[in-house]
Amino acid sequence: MKIKPLQIIAHIILILGVLLMVVPIWISFASSSHDSVTILTEGMKFHIGDQLARNYNEVLNEKGGWSEEVTAAKMFINSFIMALGIATLKVVISAMSAYALVYYRFKLAVPIFWLIFITLLVPLEVRIFPSYKIVSDLGLTNSYTGLILPLVASATATFFFRQFYKTIPDELLESAKLDGANAWSFFIDFLVPLSKTMIAAMFIFMFVYGYSQYLWPLIMTTAEEYWTVVMGMKIIYTESYEGVALPRTAERFAYIILSMIPPVLVVVFLQKWFIKGLIQTEK
């Protein structure tokens, strides 16, 4: 097969794109395997050093914070619980509210939809004081419920589910009705399986959204046992080193690499569904 010049150019562009994405991550990873002194004196590294196990072990298990009790491992668990809770509830609530908006043709469906849509203009950061007030009055500060609950309503996901449900032909619903499906079984037996690629996509977006929350957990948590990874990132960068101690640059890189793993895992795991949905056109 003859290779055309256009193809070569296309490949060069693609390879450049890949390098742009991968090189910073590789540098972070390579740098995280040296000791801090080397990096401070010689700059960032492109090759793997000999301090890999030590650095990662230290980052994961060293106790920190004011009480010297919280570890990075605990923060990973917290972030994971928070992101998982937010993503799961967001998907469930959005899918159900979209179902109600599309299939129950009550008079106010359209105004209600726009009302939900308008909340896009009021992100959490804008309404953070009222939100904090409500959550604190409910006594939910320093709890997973408090971390998750204010973030579970999603206009974006509702909108995407609504658009998807609208493409499902009416005959499917009618046929299911004649087959004895009720409102609940139509949702579970039809809409959920038909939108599973959609659900996977939304879950990934919402997981990353939940995982990268910073301001809300910062305000919500006073107890260190509820600290999240993103908060920890700030702590590890601003920790005070008195006297002769050096900034722990290598550990910072290790921490960054570790903090990327959960979202990457979610994407890798759910990608299967994506590809499946792309290959089989089921409509």
Partner 1 sequence: MSFLDLKNVTKIYPNGTKAVHETSLSVDEGEFMVFVGPSGCGKSTLLRMVAGLEDITEGDINLDGKLINEVDPSERDVAMVFQNYALYPHMNVYNNLAYGLKNRGIDKETIEQKVNDAAKLLQISDYLQRKPSMLSGGQRQRVAMGRAIVRNPKIFLFDEPLSNLDAKLRIQMRIEIKKLQQKVGVTSIFVTHDQVEAMTLADRLAVINNGIIEQLGTPIEIYDNPKSLFVAGFIGSPQMNFLDGNIKNKTLSAEGFEIKDIDSDFEGEVKLGIRPEHLSQSENSLINLKVDLVEQLGSDNLVYGQLKNKKDFCYRCPGNQTIEKNSNLSLNIENNKYYIFDKSTGKRVN
**What are the residues binding partner 1 (CB under 8 A)?**
169, 171-172, 174-182, 185, 189-190, 193-194, 280-283
Closest CB to partner 1 among residues 68, 171: 171
Q: Contact at 8 Å (CB) between 83 and 210?
A: yes
Closest CB to partner 1 among residues 11, 166: 166
Closest CB to partner 1 among residues 133, 166: 166
Tell me the closest approach of the beta carbon of residue 199 to partner 1, in angstroms.
Answer: 13
Tell me the closest approach of the beta carbon of residue 17 to partner 1, in angstroms.
Answer: 34
Of 111, 101, 86, 126, the C-alpha closest to 213 is: 86
Phi first, then psi: what are they for 259, rounded to 5°? -70, -20
Closest CB to partner 1 among residues 92, 181: 181
Beta bridge partners of 70: 64
Tell me the closest approach of the beta carbon of residue 171 to partner 1, in angstroms.
Answer: 4
Phi first, then psi: what are they for 64, rounded to 5°? -135, -160
Closest CB to partner 1 among residues 176, 208: 176
Q: Contact at 8 Å (CB) between 33 and 257?
A: no
Tell me the closest approach of the beta carbon of residue 122 to partner 1, in angstroms.
Answer: 35
Beta carbons within 8 Å of 160's beta carbon, 6+ residues apart: 94, 198, 202
d(CA 44, CA 276): 40
Tell me the closest approach of the beta carbon of residue 113 to partner 1, in angstroms.
Answer: 20
Closest CB to partner 1 among residues 69, 189: 189
d(CA 29, CA 45): 9
Q: Contact at 8 Å (CB) between 169 and 191?
A: no
Tell me the closest approach of the beta carbon of residue 274 to partner 1, in angstroms.
Answer: 16
